[in-house]
Amino acid sequence: MRLKFYELADAVDAQNNFEKFPNIELSGIEFDSRKIKVGDIFLPLKGERDGHDFIETAFENGAVVTLSEVEIENHPYILVEDCLAAFQKLAAFYIEKTQVEVVAVTGSNGKTTTKDMIDSVLSTTYKTYKTQGNYNNEIGLPYTILHMPDDTEKLVLEMGQDHMGDIHLLSDIAKPKIAVITLIGESHIEFFGSREKIAQGKMQIADGMHQGILVAPADKIINKFLPNDQEVVRFGPNEDIYIDNLVEHKDYLEFEVNFLDTKLIVPLPGKFNATNAMLAAYVGKVLGVKEHDIRSGLENIQLTKNRTEWLVASNGADILSDVYNANPTAMRLILETFQAIPENTDGAKAVVLADMKELGEESSKYHEQMITAIDPDKIDRLYLYGQEMEALVEYAKDIFPKGHLKFYRKDDEVDELDELINDVSNDLKANDQILLKGSNSMNLSKVVEKLL
């Protein structure tokens, strides 16, 4: 980041007399005083601790100015009413100052993978930067903007939502040229009340656009929320863009799309990842990436950690790990993918499913309904973990032989994660295949770590 002191003050509507401070060049911004480097702005946010308590430490570490909601002495500062709001204003200003082109991605499932794919495609042709990890909220998105390298040409931003209005705010900050919605599912339905409300929230990704392109699924639930002032491209069978001749392999996909002449190969399992790759390819085409570079970008994709990936256990068994998050749509898709893969010779198939969080009052129903996605003829052992998964046990015990279904409690009194880890580790043989899927807070990553 390259910014003058006066630009900072003007961008955040400084309420104090800042003209007495020198108009020095600022090089970065941090809300963790331990990460401050010489030339940085300090951002004192209020969380478990009040960041204002660390202003002195920030200056000791090299800060040259701080934002502040109170007047301070002995250091250059910019007085603002709300430090977080000022941070967001600064990010919006910086987007306008740099004129970087923004591609925004949201969706109930697949947004991080699609973001990574878009970045991989665009980076074959442009200087790109993307949301790091899961920095996709009201703090993470402006942080990403203000930390992009100075030579960035295309910025790929992931946008998440927990409540209505979250994505409106993020879109208003980022002003995307292209916005992509991967899927409307049930994530955070506890806070929205219905899938229609989730769709309404996701569609706010277009609110900050000016003469842009919105790429959205052919899902009727979004039709009444489509913007009238943007170009809208729909994807799905017989829509504006679609997949053709898809062939699924254990750890890669090959397919064609209607807007390119070349076949695409993606080193990931699951036909849902073919859709994500198609979206990335389309963004690349719109932004002038050549077909052979689109293909190369997808073949060499580097995913954010803990997304869907094949791993090899220490004993040689195959692990399909998808333990970062979970919702009913995502769980069904990964079960479909796993069950369609032929078993290894002399091997068995095992599945570990843990609770899906933030599904609200109908959580038990969503967990029960997973029984329709489970084929006992294709799964040899089923491990269920968590308070919500207990609802599925009552149905699964009717279709699995005794000893092939195991349940592990996790509630306020008991957590049987260690028992799950031990049983899975002992049961898994060298020729087996195992799928693990659950919300991040269920800590299935610990099972994966043990197997590795």
User: Is 109 among the annotated ligand-binding positions?
Assistant: yes
Residue 130 DSSP SS3:
strand
Residues 6 or more apart whose Cβ sits within 8 Å of residue 371: 392, 395, 396, 399
**Mean pLDDT over residues 149-178, rounded?**
96
How confident is the model at residue 358, as a pLDDT?
Answer: 86
CA-to-CA distance for 232 and 213, rounded, in angstroms? 6
Q: Are 152 and 100 in contact (CB under 8 A)?
A: yes
Does pLDDT of 16 surpass 80?
yes
Q: Are 46 and 55 in contact (CB under 8 A)?
A: no
Work out the number of other CB atoms within 10 angstroms of the CB of residue 242. Answer: 17
Element (H, E) at 382: strand 381-385
**What is the side-by-side order of every strand in the sheet holding 433-437?**
309-312, 318-322, 433-437, 349-354, 381-385, 405-408
User: Is 107 among the annotated ligand-binding positions?
Assistant: yes
pLDDT in tens, 206-265: 999 998 999 999 999 999 999 988 999 999 999 999 999 999 998 899 999 999 999 999
CA-to-CA distance for 154 and 151, rounded, in angstroms? 9
User: Is 137 among the annotated ligand-binding positions?
Assistant: no
Does pLDDT of 186 surpass 80?
no
pLDDT in tens, 89-138: 999 999 999 999 999 999 988 899 999 999 999 999 999 999 998 899 99
Does pLDDT of 324 surpass 90?
no
Does pLDDT of 86 surpass 90?
yes
- 206 vs 24, 38, 65, 401, CA distance in Å? 36, 38, 34, 50
Work out the number of other CB atoms within 10 angstroms of the CB of residue 346. Answer: 9
How confident is the model at residue 118, as a pLDDT?
Answer: 98
CA angle 65, 31, 11 (to 5 degrees): 55
Token pair, residue 411, equals 């509630």
Going along the chain from its start, the domains and CATH numbers come out as: 3-81 (3.40.1390.10), 100-299 (3.40.1190.10), 309-451 (3.90.190.20)
How confident is the model at residue 405, as a pLDDT?
Answer: 97
How confident is the model at residue 306, as a pLDDT?
Answer: 62
Residue bearing tokens 């994505």:
167
Whole-model pTM?
A: 0.85
Most distant CA atoms of the chain, gap in Å = 78
pLDDT in tens, 407-435: 999 999 999 999 999 999 999 999 999 99
Residue bearing tokens 């309404």:
200
CA-to-CA distance for 233 and 432, rounded, in angstroms? 42
How confident is the model at residue 162, as a pLDDT?
Answer: 86
**Judging by beta carbons within 10 Å of its beta carbon (0-12, 13-18, 19+), is residue 165 exposed, middle or buried?**
exposed
**Mean pLDDT over residues 271-295, rounded?**
97
Residue positions counted in the chain: 452
Token pair, residue 223, equals 């039709």
Instruction: Round the average pLDDT of the chain to a whole number and report it.
Output: 94
Amino acid letter, residue 92: A
**Mean pLDDT over residues 37-58, rounded?**
95
User: Is 113 among the annotated ligand-binding positions?
Assistant: yes
**Mean pLDDT over residues 289-317, rounded?**
91
Token pair, residue 388, equals 């919500």
Under the banding of pLDDT at 50, 70 and 90, the label for residue 188 is low
Element (H, E) at 406: strand 405-408
User: Is 111 among the annotated ligand-binding positions?
Assistant: yes
Token pair, residue 362, equals 């109908």
Backbone torsions φ then ψ of 438, nearest 5 degrees: 180, 170
Residue 165 DSSP SS3:
coil
